[in-house]
Amino acid sequence: GAGVSQSPRYKVAKRGQDVALRCDPISGHVSLFWYQQALGQGPEFLTYFQNEAQLDKSGLPSDRFFAERPEGSVSTLKIQRTQQEDSAVYLCASSLHGLSSYNEQFFGPGTRLTVL
């Protein structure tokens, strides 16, 4: 079976541009997570969806960051007016169940965003 897929794999943006990053979770997985990983650091939580509901967006660093999952499958993370500090790898993960701590998360390959 296919794993989590993300596109594009690499994105270069000029400062001030808007970008959209896509995540396609494992089929049937209820939960979807976005993380941001800076070089040499562990992933940092951004936001979480259970089906189409965004249940936690406490990790989004500013109101320039917006995520959606309108039909409960594919998700898009949008960053408006990109800044250099947004340069990072954006990871998407999915898990089978909903609200549960016994819930393994599987990561996609990530999108490496570079803001010039």
Partner 1 sequence: QKEVEQNSGPLSVPEGAIASLNCTYSDRVSQSFFWYRQYSGKSPELIMSIYSNGDKEDGRFTAQLNKASQYVSLLIRDSQPSDSATYLCAVNRDGTASKLTFGTGTRLQVTL
Q: Which of 8, 15, 52, 103 binds partner 1 (CB under 8 A)?
A: 103
Q: How many CA atoms within 13 Å lie on the side-chain side of 89?
A: 16
Q: Are 115 and 30 in contact (CB under 8 A)?
A: no
26 sits near partner 1 (criterion: CB under 8 A): no
66 sits near partner 1 (criterion: CB under 8 A): no
36 sits near partner 1 (criterion: CB under 8 A): no
**Which residue, 23, 110, 109, is CA-closest to 70?**
23
56 sits near partner 1 (criterion: CB under 8 A): yes
1 sits near partner 1 (criterion: CB under 8 A): no
